[in-house]
Amino acid sequence: MPPDASRPRVSGALVPSASVEALGGWARRYVKPLASLGVETVADLLHHYPRRYIDRSKVTKMGDLRIGQEATVIGTVRRIRTQYTRRRQPIVTVTVFDGTGYLDLSWFNQSWPARRHREGQEVAVSGKVSAFRGRPRVQNPAVEILGGAGADQVHTGRIVPVHPAGEGVSTGVIRRLVHEALRRVPLLADPIPEDVRHRRDLPPLHQAVRDVHFPETDEDQVRALERLKFDELFFLELGVAFRKHRVEAETDGVAHVPATDLVPRFIDALPFEPTRAQRRAMDEVAADMARARPMNRLLQGDVGSGKTVVALSACLIAAGSGHQAAIMAPTEVLAGQHFRTVESLLGPIGGRRLRPTNDGPQASLLEGDGPHYALLTSAVTGKERERVLEGAASGGLDLLVGTHALVQEAVEFADLSLVVVDEQHRFGLHQRIALKEKGASPDVLIMTATPIPRTLALTYYGDLDVSVLDELPAGRRPVRTRVVRTAADRRKAYDLVREQVRQGRQAFVVCAAIDEENRLEVRAAEKEAERLRTEVFPDLRIALLHGRMRPKEKEARMEAVRAGQADVLISTTVIEVGVDVPNATVMLVENAERFGLAQLHQLRGRIGRSEHESTCVLFDESAPENEDARQRLGAMARTTDGFELADEDLRLRGEGTLFDIRQSGLPDLRLARLAEDTDLVRRAREDAFALIASDPELAGHSELRAEMERRFADSIDWLFHS
């Protein structure tokens, strides 16, 4: 039976911080294999949760197996044999016995099962039963090694945990170690306040940890899992609430009071009418910037919704108030696109590139001059770079657009009061903090064209206020999307490109070099580009673009495309963000099954940027059984709503792979799943924010604060940074 949580005194009691070696001499041989799984202490072991369970009370006896049945059986390995075909391909057969009958497990052309199994092992086997030479057999079964010869049988006849195992340590060994740890740890301290536990009807932590490993019933396991998920979400929200309150209450920001009419002039001069959503977002940003506390706002907007206009209005508020602004983009292509937008939209109100000499922004603006701006990337060198750095440091520069080059030590600002970060999930936490530190508690506006599911926004972006651009500008037409799987349909897609070029339009062809730093992938993209150039579109003008090109070469290629000097741009995903060619009306995506939904949505957003009808064709080379790829591409064909796609992406992939969350530095979610646990997210957020409202420094909850800091160890700067 599992240990009883009510017994505080145990012989050989251990503290959770003790090494796993303290569990006994037999545990020492597993120290290294456990460390490879991230398990070094008793606490690590107790939080190494099962990935599934086997209910031995529901296991089928081998003597009762029927052909065609999907079943789980438990037995002991009796024999292992390897035979070879005429082509010397191995066939491994492992025979297991449970006292009522025998079952053969077979693997074709795989030799590893012969090395993994040995006689006397206890195994759990799942699979579909077939027959071979009159004997029941399961081909390529799912097998869990539960124990070896002489292993303990203490959990026979009950729900058995199956823990993640690794090289040199089986799930059976881990189960025994966890059982011993629970027996010898008297009682786990529970950091969640008692009133929260009572209000949410949560079991004590020690009981939850015991029941998640060794539940007596399915109900015990469900309650334990909900408690541990709540803990993960509660501490994540607690850190978010702690930081939000700290920044708002303790940091003096800049209360922007524009001394000019730059913003009204800017809006009047726009070549289009701003959408209601844009005007609403501009009002929200202006209200934030007028307050004497730092703005921390997230601007969400689908591809083409006009986020840059909102960001520029904020930059003009900063400049008109006598301060400076900076826009940081993740790539040189996107930084260059932002800079061209700055030039085109600020030109009508007198904006200009940085002049050789300046008397400061306040004087020039009051004289009716427009804001001065500049671009800073790795491609800006020599005297031009010196001028830009001098302009930022002297105050002669009102707006600096750039890449991560903005956070370099040499870059100094005279008075930076606004930081705009585009696609922040592409930057590390320390890069974002480094840019903020260029000013004295500047306002921060974060832009993303990757729609964020609500549950994700409430957790990983929960310290931010949110503005949403949910309208497309007038004249934009939704992009039609087709999924192509046959050679005939592929030829039709190529014909569509030729037809659009005949009408004076342009096209993109995206090759699947997902990692721009991978030479082999980029080389494959170059090879595909050559095939398209010579075999498919020999009659068209072709340009090639990929991430390993020099910045000036990339810019020259893009400028040629924008100028209409190329009919088709063959590119890797370097065009995912920042490429604006309104004349492009067709996009072909090779190997679309290799991309995630967010990336496909970003790519598709490169077309449909004019009044002309546009089409995105997704070439699917996946196997018919690749259900995930079929669902992703089906969702792309079904809707152009970025928020609907974001929810679908969260459901399909989980939050761990979305938006590079690991890069955020915030705690991982090991059990909770945002796509499935939305109600739990809401409850955890309510409780965490209410607690911080009543005790902002957690002075009356020392254990809770210590646990929060432990969980935020990788982002402690973020937690306490003002």
What CATH number should be reported for the domain holding residue 77?
2.40.50.140
pLDDT at 620: 93
Minimum mean pLDDT among 18-22, 653-657, 675-679, 688-692: which range? 653-657
Angle (CA) 529 534 539, round 5°: 110
Residues 439 and 415: beta-carbon distance below 8 Å: yes
Domain end residue (candidates: 418, 439, 469):
469
Domain assignment present for residue 77? The answer is yes
**What domain range includes position 83?**
52-162
For the chain, give the percent of residues with pLDDT over 70: 87
Report whether pLDDT(427) > 70.
no
Burial 566-603 (b: 16+ CB within 10 A, else e): bbbbbbbbbbbbbbebebbbbbbbbbbbbbebbbbbbb
Residues 268 and 716: beta-carbon distance below 8 Å: no
Instruction: Please say whether the dihedral angle defined by the alpha carbons of residues 38, 40, 46 and 52, taken in this order, is positive or negative.
Output: positive
The full DSSP string for 391-435 is HHHHT--SEEEESGGGGSTT---SSEEEEEEESGGGS-HHHHHHH
* Residues 401, 326 share a domain: yes
The full DSSP string for 223-282 is HHHHHHHHHHHHHHHHHHHHHHHHHHHH--------SS-HHHHHHHH-SSPPPHHHHHHH
The Cα 595–Cα 591 span in angstroms is: 8
* Residues 445, 492 share a domain: no
DSSP state of 130: E
Longest CA pairwise span in the chain (Å): 97
H or E segment at 35? Answer: helix 31-35
Domain end residue (candidates: 439, 469, 499):
469
Query: Phi first, then psi: what are they for 432, rounded to 5°?
Result: -65, -40
* CA distances in angstroms from 413 to 11, 313, 360, 371, 384, listed in the order given: 64, 20, 12, 16, 17
Domain assignment present for residue 655? The answer is no
Mean pLDDT: which of 54-58, 340-344, 542-546 is highest? 340-344
Residues 327 and 371: beta-carbon distance below 8 Å: no
pTM strictly above 0.75: no
Domain assignment present for residue 450? The answer is yes
Minimum mean pLDDT among 92-101, 488-497, 551-560, 693-702: which range? 551-560
The number of beta carbons lying within 10 Å of the beta carbon of residue 30 is 21
The Cα 343–Cα 351 span in angstroms is: 7
pLDDT tens digits, 367-414: 446 799 999 988 888 898 999 999 999 998 999 999 888 888 889 999
Domain assignment present for residue 304? The answer is yes
The number of beta carbons lying within 10 Å of the beta carbon of residue 259 is 11
* Residues 542, 449 share a domain: no
Predicted confidence band of residue 453 (pLDDT cuts 50, 70, 90) = confident
* CA distances in angstroms from 531 to 96, 319, 483, 527, 570, listed in the order given: 54, 50, 22, 6, 11
Residues 6 or more apart whose CB falls under 8 angstroms from that of 503 comprise none
Report whether pLDDT(461) > 60.
yes
Q: How many domains does the chain have?
A: 3
The number of beta carbons lying within 10 Å of the beta carbon of residue 562 is 18
* Residues 524, 600 share a domain: yes
Domain assignment present for residue 47? The answer is no
How would you classify the pairing of strands 568-571 and 506-510? parallel
* Residues 271, 399 share a domain: yes
Report whether pLDDT(358) > 60.
no
Helix (H, G, I), strand (E, B) or coil at 692: helix
Angle (CA) 562 302 332, round 5°: 45
The Cα 636–Cα 632 span in angstroms is: 6
* Residues 442, 547 share a domain: no
* Residues 499, 453 share a domain: no
* CA distances in angstroms from 303 to 391, 600, 607, 653, listed in the order given: 32, 11, 10, 21
**C-alpha Rg value of the chain to the nearest Å:** 30
